[in-house]
Structure 1
């Protein structure tokens, strides 16, 4: 008799937003390694296609703007109900609150929070029709602490809201077979941070505040996502798991 692992994702259909790079690309890779068929979506169709081409199993790619409800609903209607949804698409910028424009505040909120809600609504609705599914949102330790020394109140607020949105959806949908969880990473070595690599004083400050004294890797976040997506996490919903090297312990 073949032993079936509760960590396996064989036969599952997954969609990852922001899959063109960084954490999103790593999530697509790890989910595929565990057996899932993965749809890689990104604002850039080209980046999504690059990730899809790297998957062990044949991946699919599509352009997707998570702020566009019509596009989300249309894609959700074309696809079979997902088994796994990973809401990863997001942006960050560093601007002092007193000089931040309305446009910058609203853009970060529209993508980081509104995009997660709209994506969960579109694809979660299809999951509810079938009565099962796992949603994993990518939050941040910034939803629990205030990062220093960089000013990013809009990003911090958006990620705190993602955490509470995760808990709220989990409670609403728990009795209908849908689990909703989030992962809260520390600073991760991704393309979003490439420009900051020149800021050695800033990086040194981050490492000083991190007990493990290092930044995380995208695949370390993806491994937590894969666990939450699997049957091994069947009792877990409404949880935000820190993947932060101990940062929020201080």
Structure 2
């Protein structure tokens, strides 16, 4: 059977672990050629090798690294079709008045500036080559139904969703689609920060109790949503926040 992403080329940031590794795995399974970008050479290279994908060390807050990713995708695979902005971070859940300048800068640089840079560097490529494109941002239910203690993380994810909607309208005439996937908390390397305490089943109970389907998002859940949005099945879908949250935002 032909995969749903057969012949497509994708960049997946933060692809060395968590949701990103799940997305990269699903995309390869569906026939895409994948370039994994990750700050961790150990994790990124390991996942890429296991999947037969490519890897490039990249800091998503640096323009030069985005330029290098575009060059790598074109040189290795002959082009680019899909960009998954999965890399993200947070500070530890705490009272908003105790948030530091460094905390604020961290979430807005990694979560928002990365979206700015990816579009600023890559959109011209799609336009100049008259090539349809699909940008998928991993936002969060935190930007839709925020919980206390993570004010500026929540605000950064709301910015991601709003920017995606704006660019969806702006670049629709060029056939460049922008969508956001909004997971609820799962079990990843950042979960202990969202909780503000150790990532244990007991400590997750308070979060999970607000999710009607009774569990958190998994890499498989997020990857399946991204695969749909990246595929030709979603060619008429742009500007959406696809909530992958077990009913949390209802």
- Is this a same-fold pair by TM over 0.5? yes
Out of 31, 39, 44, which is 2:35 matched to?
39
Q: 1:99 to 1:74 in 2, by over 3 A?
A: same
* Partner of residue 229, structure 2: 228
Inter-partner Cα distance in structure 2 for 1:92 and 1:100: 11
* Partner of residue 88, structure 1: 86
Shift of 1:139: 0.4
State the secondary structure of the residue aligned to 2:190. helix
Inter-partner Cα distance in structure 1 for 2:100 and 2:89: 16
- Whether contact under 8 Å (2:36, 2:54) holds in the other structure is yes
| CA-to-aligned-CA distance 1:60-90 (integer Å, 9 cap, x gap) | 0110000001221233244324111100000
* Partner of residue 45, structure 2: 49
Q: Report the TM-score, using the length of structure 2 for normalisation.
A: 0.91
Out of 161, 178, 198, which is 1:196 matched to?
198
* Partner of residue 133, structure 2: 133
- Whether contact under 8 Å (1:8, 1:35) holds in the other structure is yes
Inter-partner Cα distance in structure 1 for 2:112 and 2:239: 17
Please, what is the CA RMSD of the aligned residues?
1.6
State the secondary structure of the residue aligned to 2:89. coil
- Whether contact under 8 Å (2:90, 2:106) holds in the other structure is no
Inter-partner Cα distance in structure 1 for 2:23 and 2:68: 23
Unaligned runs of 5+ in 1: none
- Whether contact under 8 Å (2:137, 2:160) holds in the other structure is yes
| CA-to-aligned-CA distance 1:114-147 (integer Å, 9 cap, x gap) | 1122122222221222231111100000010112
Q: 1:78 to 1:204 in 2, by over 3 A?
A: closer
Structure 1 residue runs of 4+, over 6 Å off? none
Shift of 1:216: 1.8
* Partner of residue 66, structure 2: 72
Question: 5 Å matches for 1:16-31?
Answer: 16-31=12-27
Unaligned runs of 5+ in 2: none
* Partner of residue 57, structure 2: 63
Inter-partner Cα distance in structure 2 for 1:188 and 1:128: 36
- Equivalent residues, number: 240
| CA-to-aligned-CA distance 1:193-232 (integer Å, 9 cap, x gap) | 25632372x4111111110111121111110000000000
Inter-partner Cα distance in structure 2 for 1:96 and 1:199: 23
- Whether contact under 8 Å (2:9, 2:73) holds in the other structure is no
